[in-house]
Structure 1
Amino acid sequence: MVDEDKSSIVLLVQNARNVFCYFSVSAVEIKEFQDRYGENSWKNSKPVIKVYEVINGIVSEVKTIYIDAFADNWFIHLDKGDMDVFVKLGRVLADDTFVAVAVSNTVTTPRDNQSGDSAVYYVDVSENSLAPNNSLPTCSEGSNENCMHKEPKPYPFVDGKKKLDHIPDW
């Protein structure tokens, strides 16, 4: 259940360079903000989302996005993929002071380029490895011969065949 006395913001990864967030600001939070910064401070301040990246435990601000005052969700476009990202929802006061209202969860965006990992494996499905009728073996009723777990052995992506002592459980 949503706590009506507390503001919140949630991040969802859309793809390598786009993150979606939805948020809510409680009336209690707005009242506390106005009590602290002045009666019209909420109305006179600008709503923003500050985007932060975490690299090896070090947090750095990536960008500040000024959002519509009536928005309760926003798409955030990033300059690169493969990032650990979180955001702060807040307001910028007239003197350019940022006041955070809520902090999101941290998400990891996928990379936006081909993997450099040379240990990627593929399964050989060439004609030589297929069943006699050039199809993958299937289980037929009354016969256990083809129903046993007989997957082809994996091969390294770049190198020749890899010798395994056992068949991996995929």
Structure 2
Amino acid sequence: MLQYEKSYIILMVQSAHVVFCYYNISPMTIKEFEDTYGQDSWKNSKPVLKVYERRNETTKEIETIYLDRLADNWYINLNKANSQVFVKLGRMLPSERYVSIAISNTVTTPRDAEAENTEVHYINLGGDNFD
């Protein structure tokens, strides 16, 4: 399959509380969507990002973001740092049914505070001779 025929979404860490995603929706995806949900279903549905957090092997949806129809990227503000997150790009039909189009990679945001353990440990990699 050629690259332009595949829809995708890429997620990147911007800071401890912000992630950035960019995405492409292929014409093939739009055609398949309209074949499944009816003519004009793409035009009548709304683009949506669903943000998910992974903690201790559980996944929880933490936010739904309605996107501008012309957007192909988005900054997502998170409420906490040190989180494993991923997003799903999809469409919300007029019936409020969500249809997923693409799933991003999972990223981990950094801590926003100093580590509790501030001990420094050194190891000798060169042996006893320091000449």
CA distance in 2, matches of 1:90, 1:117: 42
Across the two proteins, how many residue pairs are aligned to each other?
A: 125
- Matched to 1:110, the amino acid is P
Cα displacement string for residues 3-36 of structure 1 (whole angstroms, at most 9, x for unaligned residues): 1111000001011000000000000000000010
Q: Which runs of 4+ in 1 moved over 4 A?
A: none
TM-score scaled by structure 1?
A: 0.70
Partner of 1:59: 59
Q: Gaps (5+ residues) in structure 2? A: 127-131
Q: CA RMSD in A?
A: 1.5
Please say if 1:6 is aligned against 2:6.
yes
Larger RCO (alpha carbons 8 Å, 6+ apart): 2
Partner of 2:78: 78
Please say if 1:121 is aligned against 2:117.
no
Query: Identity percentage over the alignment?
Result: 50
Offset of residue 69 of structure 1:
0.5
CA distance in 2, matches of 1:168, 1:68: 55
TM-score scaled by structure 2?
A: 0.90
Partner of 2:110: 110
Partner of 2:124: 167
Q: Gaps (5+ residues) in structure 1? A: 123-153, 155-165
Q: Which has more strand, going by share of residues?
A: 2
CA distance in 2, matches of 1:110, 1:27: 36
